[in-house]
Structure 1
Amino acid sequence: MKDVLHEIAEKLDRLESIDEAIAMAIELEEEGREYYLERASSMEHETGKSLYKFLADEEKKHAEYLRQYRESKKAPVVEFEYPDFKASFREEFSDKTLEEVGVLLGALRFEHKSEFFYEELAKKATDQEQKEFFENMEDVERSHYRIIEELLDYATQFRMQT
């Protein structure tokens, strides 16, 4: 079985233009949004739903940033505010913690894939503004990864204490 990160790297190597790369990035963001909305609908507690809706909204924003960049060839300002879901999760982890952890692991994998994708695009950038735009997108994906990782740490510590 081929590693998903190698698959992305191979696809990027075959791209002929930055426009193709941006189209691929938009697809990835839309795929992520659908994944998170699907997961939000399967969560029993409100904090889990809020987390996945937050991530779905983030993916929607990313796709819009990419569309703006493709249309104007100017990098939009990429904004991100780091939320704190841990306090809410403390109160709401259910008796289905393993199921919830499984969903978080899927999200973690998706964010890692996205981070790697933007890292590779930044390496292939043809000018400084383009490079900085993709690095900013990479940083935001890494922040999503950290949010999920913190929740996984909290979830597994919580489970071990009970």
Structure 2
Amino acid sequence: MKDVLHEIADELDRMESIDEAIAMAIELEEEGRKYYLEKASAMEHATGTNLYMFLAEEEKKHAEYLRHYRESKKAPVVEFNYPEFKVSFKEEFSGKTLEEVGILLAALRFEHKSEYFYAELAKRSTDEEQKKFFESMEDVERSHYRIIEELLEYETQFRMQT
């Protein structure tokens, strides 16, 4: 069985243009947004809902960045402000901790996959501006990963090795 990260690399190898890769990236971002909106509506507590709404908005911004880049061939400035969910999240976990942790683990996997995707695009870029744009997207995805990782650690007292 092939690792999903190797599948991404293989799929990128088969692509004929950067526009094709950007289209795939937009699909990934839209898929993530849909997932986060679905999970936000399923949460019983405000902090969980706020986390997933924040991530859904981030995915929406990423798709917009990618569309802008595809249309203008100029890299937009990728912005990210690290939110603070950690303090109140512990109080907000319900009696469904395992289910909530499972949702966080799925989100963690999605963000890791996205981070890897942008890292691969950056490695394959021949244009310096394009490379920096994809590296910025990779950095933001890594920040999302860290947010989720912190919440998991806070709730479970378990530290993932990254």
Calculate the TM-score normalised by the size of structure 2: 0.95
Distance 2:138 2:129 in 1: 14
Number of the residue aligned with 1:79? 79
Deviation by residue 1:70-126 (Cα, 9 ceiling, x = unmatched): 000000000000001011102211111111100000000000000000000000112
Give the CA RMSD over aligned residues: 1.0
Distance 2:28 2:91 in 1: 33
Identity %: 82
Q: Offset of 1:41 from its aligned partner?
A: 1.1
Number of the residue aligned with 1:42? 42
Distance 1:28 1:20 in 2: 13
Structure 2 residue matching 1:123: 3-state secondary structure: helix
Deviation by residue 1:29-61 (Cα, 9 ceiling, x = unmatched): 000000101111111111000000000000000
Number of the residue aligned with 1:69? 69
Q: Which amino acid aligns with 1:98?
A: L
Number of the residue aligned with 1:144? 144
**Count of aligned residue pairs for this structure pair:** 158
Structure 2 residue matching 1:109: 3-state secondary structure: helix
Moved beyond 6 Å, runs of 4+? none
Calculate the TM-score normalised by the size of structure 1: 0.95
Number of the residue aligned with 2:102? 102
Distance 1:90 1:97 in 2: 10
